Amino acid sequence: MPRALSLFLLPRGRTQAPEDILSTLNGASLKELKAYFEEAGDKASLRRLENLSKIVVGLNGRLSSIRGTTKDARLRFSYTFRGKFSYVRGGERRIEEYEIYMEHDVWIRVISGLLVIFDAPNKRIARAIAQLASLRLYGDTTSASPLHLERSHINALEKWVTAKEHEVSGNIIRATFKRAQIGDTVLDEVSIKREGLDITDIYSKVKSSAHEISSITFVTPLLPEIGKRITCKLDSRGGLLIYTPNLREVDIEVVLSKLENVMGFI
């Protein structure tokens, strides 16, 4: 199965050592967010938490320390998830609710300030985890911001992926643009898919005219540390989808390290 990562950025240069992060975040609970927003009189954030409580039972989500490495602090977010499924019985569609215990790994990369949340089933959950980490680390909920895909990031990724000095180069295979011009027409969204997309004229033309690059899907060069090329999709809301199956923890760490370097976070 693909791995879905949510990427947030913490203030560069203000990230603590891994052991200090683990100590600071251990035991942090979503209920702290509710108390913080109540004290601040932040009604909009309280409404978002109320909606979140429909899928995170009782806002019982909590961070716990796992271990620190030389590059990051690794934690786990645990909670009871309430979901729904529909089915047809006797010609009638029915909806049932279920509850399941969930755990997501959370990594904080100390040099780049990258906060990585693994496999959250809902973006609201990932956002709440980021807010909770921000609150404990910095005393506010806004210091962790979703990674926004800038044009400079795209250019850097293209250069790295397609560079000829790699033993085996990668390529761009899909890109989605917003408000791009084709001929005399401006389209709300344009999606282009093709192996080796980066060397086509249409890709260059659409990219140069687009107001925003929504996502880019690419195959990395051969990564000598793990002997593989990895297929990834990076979107403008901080989502990183890794399609290559059966990756080990160390493989994902290599991919993150490459992206941190290429995109200029370290």
CA 211, CA 208: separation in Å to the nearest integer? 8
- The reported pLDDT for the residue numbered 113 is 95
- The reported pLDDT for the residue numbered 152 is 93
Q: Is the pLDDT of residue 47 over 80?
A: yes
Q: What is the DSSP letter of 52?
A: H
b/e 220-244 (16+ beta carbons within 10 angstroms → b): bbebeebeebbbbbbbbebbbebeb
CB atoms within 10 A of CB 19: 12
Q: What share of the chain is helix, strand, coil (3-state, %, to 5)?
A: 30, 35, 30
**In the block, residue with structure tokens 């959370």:** 106
CA 31, CA 46: separation in Å to the nearest integer? 11
CA 190, CA 185: separation in Å to the nearest integer? 11
Give me the chain's average pLDDT, please: 94
The domains of the chain are located at 3-146, 151-262
SS3 188: strand
Question: Mean pLDDT over residues 41-64, rounded?
Answer: 96
Q: Is the pLDDT of residue 90 over 80?
A: no
Count of residues making up the chain: 266
**Residue 190 near residue 204 (C-beta atoms within 8 A):** no
Over residues 212-228, the pLDDT tens digits come to 999 999 999 999 999 99
Structure token digits, residue 250: 């160390």
34: left (phi over 0), alpha (psi -120 to 50) or beta: alpha
SS3 38: helix
Question: Mean pLDDT over residues 182-211, rounded?
Answer: 89
CA 21, CA 30: separation in Å to the nearest integer? 17
Instruction: Count the alpha carbons within 13 Å of 225 in the hemisphere toward its beta carbon.
Output: 13
Over residues 104-132, the pLDDT tens digits come to 999 999 999 999 999 999 999 999 999 99
Structure token digits, residue 199: 């060397």
- The reported pLDDT for the residue numbered 97 is 87
Question: Mean pLDDT over residues 145-157, rounded?
Answer: 93
